[in-house]
């Protein structure tokens, strides 16, 4: 089970709490607004918007919030202008971290990220210093429910996916970045609506951290994800099953 998948498991455990705080809705609203601004408000003609709307529905985001975010993107309602950017840093023990942001004040956001990185014994990195060890992929998540592994694997490959990770509580289907929306739509048409479909950065090599550093790394990842302007956090931390069990028990 990859470090990416294990961290996804931890994040999903926290998902209900995030939703209560409204954080996940805020994140989705920003992405919906940007997607609508770039490609228009019609999801049938805007794959990026269609994909994020699937995620919004899976998170039980209210329709009023969705409609308002779309209208802000299309200019039907006033709204702020968001700017996206990517930052690279190292956590404790040299864990590589990539942070994607969507903000209306880049100077404020980078100062907040720098503060968190320093607080948890990390350091900011130059562009490319971390990202060379990552490759962009599409990730589609399906709840296991009563779906068999062979069934999901066959349908995913038929839809054009590269691979399926069957470990954990969700199926994670990997695609080429350019095929994400195509595969996601094909699965939906087959009767397998994704819980989430998004672009991600997967590490080529991972690093396993000793127990005395693991808490600093996890605290940094948590704090970055809790920042209102952070959309995604990617890392190459590898956790043993023993460490995962300990973290999940907390």
**DSSP secondary structure letter of residue 104:** S
For residue 250, the model assigns a pLDDT of 65
The structure's pTM equals 0.84
pLDDT value at residue 170: 85
Q: Does 207 map to a domain?
A: no
The pLDDT value given to residue 1: 38
The pairing of beta strand 163-165 with beta strand 170-175: antiparallel
Q: For 103-156, what is each residue's pLDDT tens digit?
A: 999 999 999 999 999 999 999 999 999 999 999 999 999 888 878 899 999 999
Q: What is the CATH number of the domain that holds 12?
A: 1.10.10.200
d(Cα 126, Cα 131) in Å, to the nearest integer? 10
What is the CA angle 136-138-143, rounded to 5?
140
Looking at residue 215, its pLDDT comes to: 87
Confirm if 165 and 172 have CB atoms less than 8 A apart: yes
* Measured distance CA(184)–CA(194) in Å, rounded: 7
Q: Would 43 be classed as within a structural domain?
A: yes
Reported as a pLDDT band with limits 50, 70 and 90, residue 9 is low
Q: Does residue 143 lie within any of the structural domains? A: no
Half-sphere exposure of 124 (CA within 13 A, CB side): 11
CA-based torsion, 11, 115, 92, 137: positive or negative = positive
Count of other CB atoms within 10 angstroms of residue 157? 14
**Residue 49 domain boundaries:** 3-74
48 located within any domain: yes
Q: Which two tokens stand for residue 14?
A: 């926290």
Are 78 and 71 in contact by the 8 Å Cβ rule? The answer is: no
Kindly tell me if the per-residue pLDDT of 236 is higher than 80.
yes
pLDDT at 5: 53
> Is residue 232 assigned to a domain?
no
Cβ of 128: how many Cβ atoms within 10 Å?
8
Encode pLDDT of 33-79 as tens digits: 999 999 999 998 998 898 888 888 877 899 999 999 999 999 999 98
pLDDT value at residue 2: 46
Judge whether 200 and 137 are in contact, CB under 8 Å: yes
For 155-190, the pLDDT digits (tens) are 999 999 999 998 877 899 999 998 998 898 899 889
Question: For the segment 205-226, what is each residue's pLDDT rounded down to a tens digit?
Answer: 999 888 788 889 999 998 998 8
Locate 203 and state its tokens. 């590490």
pLDDT at 194 over 60: yes
State the pLDDT confidence band at 245, using cuts at 50, 70 and 90. low
Predicted pLDDT at 11? 58
Is residue 124 a part of any domain in this protein?
A: no
Number of domains in the chain: 1
- Specify if 53 maps to a domain: yes
End-to-end CA distance of the chain: 20
Query: What average pLDDT does the segment 95-104 reach?
Result: 95
pLDDT at site 28: 92
> Helix, strand, or coil here: 241?
helix
Residue 50 resides in a domain: yes
Q: Provide the token pair at 29.
A: 């609203």
What's the CA gap between 148 and 16, in Å, rounded? 26
């Amino acid at each position: 089970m990859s470090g990416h998948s294990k961290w996804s498991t931890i994040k999903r455990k926290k998902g209900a709490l995030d939703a209560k705080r409204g954080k996940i809705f805020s994140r989705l609203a920003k992405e919906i607004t940007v997607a609508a601004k770039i490609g228009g408000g019609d999801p049938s003609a805007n794959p990026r918007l269609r994909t994020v709307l699937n995620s919004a529905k899976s998170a039980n985001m209210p329709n009023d919030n969705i409609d308002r975010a779309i209208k802000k993107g299309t200019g039907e309602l006033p709204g702020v202008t968001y700017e996206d950017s990517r930052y690279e840093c190292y956590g404790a023990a040299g864990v590589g971290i990539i942070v994607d942001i969507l903000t209306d004040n880049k100077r404020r956001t980078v100062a907040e990220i720098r503060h968190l990185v320093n607080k948890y014994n990390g350091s900011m990195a130059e562009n490319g210093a971390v990202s060379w060890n990552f490759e962009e992929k599409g990730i589609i998540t399906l709840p296991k429910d009563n779906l068999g592994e062979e069934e999901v694997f066959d349908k995913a490959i038929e839809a054009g996916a590269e691979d399926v990770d069957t470990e954990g509580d969700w199926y994670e289907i990997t695609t080429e970045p350019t095929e994400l929306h195509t595969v996601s739509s094909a699965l939906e048409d087959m009767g397998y609506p994704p819980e989430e479909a998004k672009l991600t950065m997967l590490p080529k090599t991972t690093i396993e951290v000793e127990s005395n550093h693991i808490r600093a790394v996890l605290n940094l990842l948590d704090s970055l994800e809790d920042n209102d302007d952070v959309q995604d956090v990617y890392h190459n931390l590898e956790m043993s099953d023993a460490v995962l069990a300990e973290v999940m028990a907390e």
